[in-house]
Structure 1
């Protein structure tokens, strides 16, 4: 069974250089998706403007994700993955029949730690604090990089 990779983020991104970069990396990733055994790579923006707290934002981001999906919360308290490790994790999930893989980015203030589902794996991009828009760019790029590793393209260099 082929898996779908979904980058899910709180809030929307307006036109601008970061939006262009996210779109470019998702388009590139989709060119590799089928040949690496994935259905597609897509982005989902979740409107969190009506939420009154960080906890409510976190719950809204995770609420509609199926329990059967593999879910990664991009969280500074998570584990850092090297690019090859991310590629291996995605391919293992695909090989185990995972239908959907979610990479969830919190809203501007991040996640409320107590509201992150226990089943979600926490993934950190390192010890730094990153602007929300750049996290979206970085996750889109890392998804493309992981698929390029699986496809054997020369994009990634160790």
Structure 2
């Protein structure tokens, strides 16, 4: 099993990068005993500024073949943290690779969105791209802590 976090844009040294690194490190440590591998971060970037149409083929090429594709999209389902954790556990139990995708500032091209196995949302509000990365990294760690039975998630 592999877990890939596929994002548009390159994150430079910043407070957001520190948070992402911290949560993904926590996930790796907590997930190890649960059979969850460390998250591999893959960043793609369209330097010409072509928006979602130009980003779609870059994303498509970077999706590991055979992965269960989870895309973040404002129109997606809004699972609870325990529901998200259970989906991750079910995919682990099926030995499925997971690819979580965060699009660029304009979102994801409709044809690419249709390729998703699951679309999820952090709500109808608009969030800055880099904060969505932090929030997803935190939710991955939270999922691992829920599966491990740790008190991090207070239900």
Aligned mates of 1:147, 1:119 — CA distance in 2: 23
Question: What is the TM-score with the length of structure 1 in the denominator?
Answer: 0.91
Partner of residue 37 from structure 1, selected from 35, 38, 60: 35
Q: Which runs of 5+ in 2 are unaligned?
A: none
Partner of residue 120 from structure 2, selected from 123, 126, 131: 123
> Match of 1:22?
20
Query: Does structure 2 retain, via aligned residues, the 8 Å contact 1:55–1:115?
Result: no
Question: What is the TM-score with the length of structure 2 in the denominator?
Answer: 0.93
* Per-residue Cα deviation, 1:35-91 (whole angstroms, up to 9, x for no partner): 111122221111222462312212311223134111111001111111000100000
Q: Displacement of 1:30 after TM fit? A: 0.6
Query: What is the 5 A alignment of 1:96-115?
Result: 96-98=94-96, 100-115=97-112
Count of aligned positions: 155
Q: Which runs of 5+ in 1 are unaligned?
A: none
Query: Does structure 2 retain, via aligned residues, the 8 Å contact 1:48–1:107?
Result: no
Q: Secondary structure at the match of 2:38?
A: strand
Aligned mates of 1:15, 1:129 — CA distance in 2: 23
Q: Quick check: 1:91 aligned with 2:89?
A: yes
> Match of 2:72?
74
Aligned mates of 1:74, 1:48 — CA distance in 2: 19
Q: Secondary structure at the match of 1:146?
A: helix
> Match of 2:138?
141
Give the RMSD, CA atoms, in angstroms: 1.5
- Greater share of strand: 1
Partner of residue 151 from structure 1, selected from 138, 148, 153: 148
Query: Does structure 1 retain, via aligned residues, the 8 Å contact 2:52–2:106?
Result: yes
